Amino acid sequence: MAYCVRCGVELQKGLESCPLCNTEVILPDDPDVEEGMRPFSERIPRNVRPRVNLAPSRAFIFLATFILLVPLLITLIIDITANRTITWSFYPVTSLALLWVLIAYPSLLKGHTTFQVITMDILSIAVFLLSLDLYSGSFPEWSQYPALALLLLWVYVAIPFLLTWKRIYLIVTIWFSGTAVFLFAIDKLTGGADWFLSLGLPILVLAGLVAAIIMIVVKTSKKKPLLTTATAAFALAVLMLGIDVVVNLYVKEMFVVTWSPIPAAALFPTAIFLFIVEYSPELKLYLMKKFHM
């Protein structure tokens, strides 16, 4: 027997509307309705989420071009009129040009991908910084450092779009390789004490091993969050101890630990407890009931 969805009155079979409130009758077990289909009441409109196009329109690009072109021309005219050449106006002009590229590029390139946009944006910023350094005097003086940092940022941001997250191991390998190259380049550019082989590389290797262990556990134990958390806590504690030892070997030339036992003292017991809970079904069930999980 069917009932009205609005007032709850019991309805006879075959009625199309409620005799009390005239609400449309919906009968899921109606034999006339095809299997897998359900009648849709016009009283409950469907909410269709509109699609939002984040790429700027051509009209917006034309407007932005005009807005940026006006101060650019004014700056050039003032500088050339006063100095008979381009001097200080180079900096605001290149800044406005960079801003235009960042705004206009996604709209001007049809069929662009996220990888292309990220690559173009980072490349534009790097060229902008290099041009400032080149115009200001001796080159290179400072621009190589932010340029290398932008290159590393591109490795971290753009590579996942290029390879997709299905190749997570390859992506992480490229991340750590790029970080190693970045640290090595900074070490050579700054001169002085060589710290990459004795400090940077060992810490990077330790971090890479910890990341690899955590990723393997996450991938092989998707339905065991306690095991994943315990492994991550244990690995982080080992990483902190390793970093502490490496830093002390580099700074003090002594194999000692200073600060790492404090977080390790919290992480190791936590990891051991989670391991015990994961491999003890009775304790796990008891805790789940106790905490209403």
First to last CA, the chain: 38
- Tell me if 107 is assigned to some domain: no
pLDDT tops 60 at residue 189: yes
Q: What would the 3-class secondary structure string for 85-142 be?
A: CCCCCHHHHHHHHHHHHHHHHHHHCCCCCHHHHHHHHHHHHHHHHHHHHHHHCCCCCC
Q: What type of residue sits at position 11?
A: L
Provide the percentage of residues in the chain whose pLDDT is more than 70: 87
pLDDT of residue 292: 74
- Tell me if 17 is assigned to some domain: yes
- Tell me if 221 is assigned to some domain: yes
* Ordered DSSP codes for 156-179: HHHHHHHH-GGGHHHHHHHHHHHH
Note the pLDDT tens digit of each residue in 32-82.
Answer: 544 545 554 444 555 555 544 556 677 888 888 899 999 999 999 999 999
- Tell me if 57 is assigned to some domain: no
Residue scoring higher pLDDT (255 or 14): 255
pLDDT of residue 33: 46
Residue scoring higher pLDDT (110 or 3): 3
pLDDT of residue 290: 82
- Tell me if 117 is assigned to some domain: no
- Tell me if 284 is assigned to some domain: yes
pTM (two decimals): 0.70
Number of domains the chain is built from: 2
DSSP character for 55? Answer: S
User: Residue 12 belongs to what domain range?
Assistant: 1-33
- Tell me if 280 is assigned to some domain: yes
Note the pLDDT tens digit of each residue in 143-174.
Answer: 999 999 999 999 999 888 888 878 888 999 99
pLDDT of residue 161: 85
pLDDT mean over 3-29: 75
pLDDT of residue 29: 52
Residue scoring higher pLDDT (155 or 221): 155
Least confident range of 190-194, 201-205, 260-264: 190-194
Of the pLDDT bands very low, low, confident and very high (cuts 50, 70, 90), residue 186 is very high
- Tell me if 235 is assigned to some domain: yes
Q: List Cβ neighbours of 274 (8 Å cut-off, separation of 6 or more).
A: 226, 227, 229, 230, 233
pLDDT of residue 111: 57
pLDDT tops 60 at residue 114: yes
